[in-house]
Amino acid sequence: MSEIPLKLAVNLALDAPPSPDLVTPAEPANICFTSLINSLVEKQWFVAENYLSQELCGQLEQDLQRLHEQSLLSPAGIGRGKNHLLNEEVRGDYTHWFDGGSLAQQSYLAIMRELKNTLNRELFLGLFEYECHYALYPPGAFYKKHLDSFRGRTNRKVTTVVYLNSDWQAEDAGEMRLYHPHTNQVLLDVAPRSGTLVCFMSEDLPHEVLPTKAERRSIAGWFRCNTSLNGRIDPAL
Ligand code: OGA
Ligand code: MN
């Protein structure tokens, strides 16, 4: 199947009403959206530990393991469309785009729909769709410092990264490092522990994945807005 129908399936899943079987966030009442939103406005990023329940993280981890065993992960590339290149000097992870094909993925997409609604309500960001992939970093893999979106060139507005590593130890390294948009100072290192969500403005925050010593699993995703370039709708690649 080509990528576009898969992405369309995800968009549909994001707009559909949640099914009663879906797993909901850990303790929604414990998540203080006001402080998350304030952090995003003031600092352009926020980190929320235990944003996803350990139960859902376990189901997502199993889903990723199943895809891995079925050889459905591909070496990640950089760039979009015909500029897509494999480059092991830049990143060494293996990815699989969500297709909404498991209950775990649908639960995750329902949680991201809630986040999208909150961001749109509070910040008028006009986010309209979400794309995301699983990523598996084998020991030794990294992702060099980069921006997820170049101003005016793509329509990725807000990045989300969620981690699925239940037994993560400090010596496993593999932190995500966020940099200040102007001074390039290191802002913080985030340990990729299960349930942690990192969210930041895609056009502004350079970041990298430091070399990992243990197998490292994440879901990287992007909320997009519907922009058009030169009168042409930016394709959902
Ligand atoms: C990405 C990315 C960070 C992470 O996929 O663009 O920056 O911690 N991922 O997995
Ligand atoms: Mn990135």
CA distance 21 to 40: 31
Q: What is the dihedral of CA 35, 41, 45, 48, to 10 degrees?
A: 20
What's this model's pTM, rounded to 2 decimal places? 0.84
In a domain, 152, yes or no: yes
- Residue 172 lies inside a defined structural domain of this protein: yes
Predicted local distance difference test score (pLDDT) of residue 8: 41
Predicted pLDDT at 99: 93
210 falls within a domain? yes
Mutate to test the pocket of ligand 1, among 209, 210, 217, 222 (most ligand atoms within 8 A of CB): 209
Q: Which atom of ligand 1 is nearest to the CA of 76?
A: 5
CA atoms of 42 and 19, how far apart (whole Å):
35
Residue 73 falls inside a structural domain:
yes
> Which amino acid is it at 134?
Y
Distance from C-alpha of 176 to C-alpha of 163, rounded to nearest angstrom? 10
Closest atom of ligand 1 to CA, residue 137: 10
Per-residue pLDDT, 16? 54
Distance (Å) from CA 146 to ligand 2 centroid: 6
- Domain enclosing residue 101, as ranges: 6-224
Residue 104 makes CB contacts below 8 A (sequence gap 6+) with: 23, 56, 59, 60, 62, 63
Q: Which two tokens stand for residue 47?
A: 């980190």
For residue 180, give Cα distances in angstroms to 5, 22, 159, 177: 37, 37, 16, 10
230: in domain: no
CA 55 / ligand 2 centre spacing (Å) = 26
**Ligand 1 atom 8: residue of nearest CA:** 176
Amino acid letter for position 36: L
Pocket test for ligand 1, best of 207, 208, 223 (most atoms within 8 A of CB): 207
- Taking alpha carbons only, the member of 91, 63, 94, 77 closest to residue 164 is 63
Q: What is the CATH number of the domain that holds 202?
A: 2.60.120.620
CA pseudo-torsion sign 7, 160, 44, 188: negative
pLDDT values of the chain reduced to their tens digit, one per residue, 237 residues? 333 333 443 444 455 555 555 555 555 556 788 889 999 999 999 999 999 999 999 999 999 999 999 999 999 876 655 556 667 788 999 999 999 999 999 999 999 999 999 999 999 888 889 999 999 999 999 999 999 987 666 689 999 999 999 999 999 999 999 999 999 899 999 999 999 999 999 999 999 999 999 999 999 999 998 765 544 444 443
Q: What residue ranges in 49-155 does DSSP mark as E strands?
A: 74-75, 77-78, 85-86, 94-97, 127-137, 143-146
* Nearest ligand 1 atom to alpha carbon 207: 7
In this structure, is residue 16 part of a structural domain?
yes
What's the number of domains the chain is made of?
A: 1
Cβ–ligand 1 distance for 165 under 6 Å, the answer no
Nearest CA to ligand 1 atom 1: 220
CB atoms within 10 A of CB 10: 24
The verdict on residue 233 lying in a domain is no
53 to each of 26, 104, 107, 202, 219, how far by Cα in Å?
4, 12, 11, 25, 15
Answer yes or no: is 1 within a domain.
no
